[in-house]
Each structure stands twice: as C-alpha cells, then as structure tokens.
Amino acid sequence: MFNFLARRLAATLPVLLIVAVLVFLMLRLTPGDPAVIIAGDAANPEQVAQIRAGLGLDRSIVVQFGIWLGNLLTGNLGESYFFKMSVTELIAHRIEPTLALSLCTIVLSVLVSVPLGVLAAWRQGGWLDRALMGFSVLGFSIPVFVLGYILIYIVSLKLGWLPVQGYVRMADGLWPFLRHLILPSITLSVIYIALIARVTRAAVTETLAEDYIRTARAKGLPEARVVIHHALANAAVPIVTVIGIGIALLIGGVVVTETVYAIPGLGRLTVDAVLARDFPTVQGVILFFSFVYVLINLLVDLSYLFFDPRIRY
C-alpha cells in the first residue's frame, strides 16, 4: 500500500510539470497582450512597452518559464496582473464557493442517481427503466448554460422561489447559503445524474444476472437485501469509478455554472483571468485543478480496496 501511494504521488510531479509547460506555452503563443489590456485603449506604444518590461514579458519565453518554474518550486504561483495580489491568496479567497458548489452537486448527484440506477436495473424494461434512459439522453444533450438560463427564467424570474444569481457564505446563515446554491447545483448535477444513473443501472443489471444472486434469492433472502447488500455492493467498483470521473469533469462544468450564476469562485476567476490575459492567475488555477484531478483519481483507486478486498496494490 505504501509503495503504491509513493509511486502514485511521485507520478503526479511529471504530470503537473507537463501541464505547466503546456499551459505556459498556450498562453504565450495565443494572440493577445496583457500589457495592452492593462494600459488601455488610450496608451501609446512607449507606455505599453514600459508595462511589458515591468511584467517581464519583454524577455524570451524560455527565460520567463525558467523564472516562473523557479518560483513555483518554492510555492510561489506569482502575482496576478489584473487583481494585483498573489495567485495563492486569490485562489484561497475564491475556493469556498467552488468547493461548496462542487460538494452540493456531487452529493445531490449521488443521492439521486444511485437509487434511480438500482431501481431501473431491478425493474429492467419497466417504465422507470425507460424513463431513466430517456432522461440520460436528455441530460447529455442539454448544455449546462442553456439549462441554467431555463431554470433562472422559470424558477427565479417567473416563480420567484430562488435568487437569480450571487453567493452567500455559510457564515452569513445556512438557509441563505443553501438558497443560492440550489439552482446552480441542480443545473450542474443533471448531466452527472444521467451519467452515474446509467452506469449504476448497467453495473447492477449485470450483477443481478450472477449465480450468487440466484442463490441468495433461493435462500429466501428479502429482495431489498439481495439488491442492496449483494448486487449493489458487488457493482460498487464501476459506480465509484464513474463518480470519480464525474468529479474530475465537474471542473469544466463549474467554470460555466459559476459564470451563469455570477458565483465568485475559481470558475469565474478562470474566465475573468482568461479575458484579462492574466497569465499567472490562469496558470495557477489550472495547476490547482490539475492537482485536484490527480488527487481524486488516487482516492478513487484507494477506494477499490474498501469495496473489493480482492484488489491488492
């Protein structure tokens, strides 16, 4: 176990280095100059050149990368061009809304999708099974931002049940905190409910056809115990895998959802930084997301030991 953890943690370093190189090169080679954006439309070429020199953008790409990588190895992600503060502090200030939205989305997705998938597998071919398959197709087809605007129009503008946009910290009250997260969480969870429910249905359906399930039923065990303790427990590995993949894919959905609902999290920060050509902020946020992605994959791999003791690393 320890050797497995050591190998996986060591493997994260080259992955993060490759991500750092690719992000750095993509930002520098795409059109757009941060100095021009900072200087404004009324600035003359001399002022733009002075700003470029102050930011270190007048140096070669190799020198810029060497300086940034050296700072990164000391834990310094640099200073934001646009927000005028360290990227580490900026991420720390913006992480709470993103973390809250992600946790609410995952909890909602799992609580809804797993029971739906199990019931659909248990009643395979029934109306619930067909409805789940239709919902899966619909969930994969509707873009997140389209669903977000539909829910805002119906639930917030027409019915007035929930706030349109914004975010309230948990310290300011639990109910205001939840009211501002319900719509974004539903918007973001639809595609993951469809994904997890479909995989759960397939995994449980396959497990229900096994010989030990027929044996359990022949012994007279209650159907609920057969389905939950035998079928669902033995189908847990693919379900946990797709939940882990869903959490990783959540990163992209958070960017869109936070923009639609004006949530001041890391997703909204990424969009603002890209528009402002804020290189250090974009690089820092993407590296942070990459580290989270690798960490989630590691936790999913370790969870296999709990759900299937036959697996040994």
What pLDDT, on a 0 to 100 scale, did the predictor assign at position 311?
65
Cβ-Cβ contacts under 8 Å for 288 (sequence gap 6 or more): 91, 266
The C-alpha angle 189, 194, 196, rounded to 5 degrees, equals 90
The predicted model scores a pTM of 0.84
By percentage, how much of the chain surpasses pLDDT 70?
Answer: 96
Instruction: Delineate the domains of the chain, giving CATH numbers in brackets.
Output: 2-73 (no CATH), 91-307 (1.10.3720.10)
What pLDDT, on a 0 to 100 scale, did the predictor assign at position 152?
92
Q: What is the pLDDT of the chain when averaged over all its residues?
A: 84
Cβ-Cβ contacts under 8 Å for 79 (sequence gap 6 or more): 85, 86, 87, 280
Dihedral, 64, 70, 72, 73 alpha carbons, nearest 10: 160
Write out pLDDT tens, residues 92-108.
Answer: 999 999 999 999 999 99
Average pLDDT, stretch 202-226?
85
| Sign (positive or negative) of CA dihedral 255, 191, 95, 297 | negative
> What's the half-sphere exposure (Cβ side, CA atoms, 13 Å) at 126?
11
Cα separation, 275 vs 268, whole angstroms? 11
Write out pLDDT tens, residues 150-174.
Answer: 999 999 999 889 898 889 888 888 8
Highest mean pLDDT: which range of 40-49, 230-239, 281-290: 281-290
Asked whether residue 312 carries a pLDDT value surpassing 70, the answer given is: no
Question: pLDDT higher for 36 or 263?
Answer: 263
Q: Which residue has the tokens 């909602």?
A: 108
Residue 194: φ, ψ to 5°: -60, -45
What pLDDT, on a 0 to 100 scale, did the predictor assign at position 310?
66
H or E stretch at 161: none
Average pLDDT, stretch 202-210?
87
Q: Band the pLDDT of 313: cuts 50, 70, 90.
A: low
Question: pLDDT higher for 179 or 253?
Answer: 179
